[in-house]
Amino acid sequence: MSMIYGQIVSIPLKKINLWKDNPRHNEHAVTKLAKILQCRGQVTPLVVWDKDMTVYKGNTTLKALRWLQVNWRALDKNKGENAELFNQLKLGLCKIIYYNFPNHVSAVAYGIADNKASEFATFDEDQLDKLMTLDIVGYPESLGYTEAEIANIKQNKLQTGLDEMPGEYDAESDYLTIKISEVARSHKEYVLEVINNALRDAGLTEEGYNYEAIAY
């Protein structure tokens, strides 16, 4: 059978082999990725070596697709569904790219490097938080996040704004003027609650300061 290299093709899931020596532990990620795929579809093809039909990029995706074949309805339909993927799985198909690795060592080296490369980048949480305000179907699971993780991103962003926030305290009037950044201004009530809680925790006041928050 002649192979089509470098082009996305659809083949039966049952014909594809997992990389049995994959050093990356990915079982915990299968259902999380399944929720993304259910909403977004399979956009990225697997990379398969035609000699042994083994996946050297996309093993977690392959596991998630197989899981979805059986458990599609176990996921929350209100989180959004991708009709193309649903039909793809009904036919038992998977999108792949055949790659003609010169030998087994080369295929393994690619798999290891691909696993490691995902660790190189970091996130700009300020920019991520801005993007999270978009009207995204299936939010946040369709993005791979939990509600707790989203809350933590927002809290970290607000805390950064608080840490950088100058203030002026008039001891005579016991009045605190707080200059808050644009980051914190949109969450004024939360910011002031955090300030009062911190003051109470430090034993500086039982009732909290009188305060005024102004943007700068």
* Chain Cα centroid distance, residue 64: 16
* Chain Cα centroid distance, residue 131: 12
pLDDT at 131: 86
pLDDT digits (tens, 9 = 90+) for 72-120: 776 655 556 788 898 899 899 999 999 999 999 999 999 999 999 989 9
Residues of the chain with pLDDT under 50: 169, 173-174, 206-209, 213-216
Q: Look up residue 17 and give its DSSP letter.
A: B
Residue 43 identity: V
| DSSP reduced 3-state for 127 | helix
Residue 2: how many CB atoms within 10 A of its CB?
5
Q: Give the Å distances, CA to CA, from 128 to 62, 149, 150.
A: 27, 12, 10
pTM across the whole model: 0.71
Q: Which long-range contacts (CB under 8 A, 24 or more apart) does 195-199 make?
A: 195/162
Q: Are 117 and 67 spatial neighbours (Cβ–Cβ below 8 Å)?
A: no
Taking each helix axis from N to C end, the angle separating 59-71 and 83-90, rounded to the nearest 10 degrees, works out to 80
pLDDT at 162: 52
Residue 9 identity: V
Alpha-helix residue ranges (DSSP H) falling in 53-146? 59-71, 83-90, 104-117, 125-131
Residues 6+ apart with CB under 8 A from 39: 79, 80, 81, 82, 137, 138, 141, 142
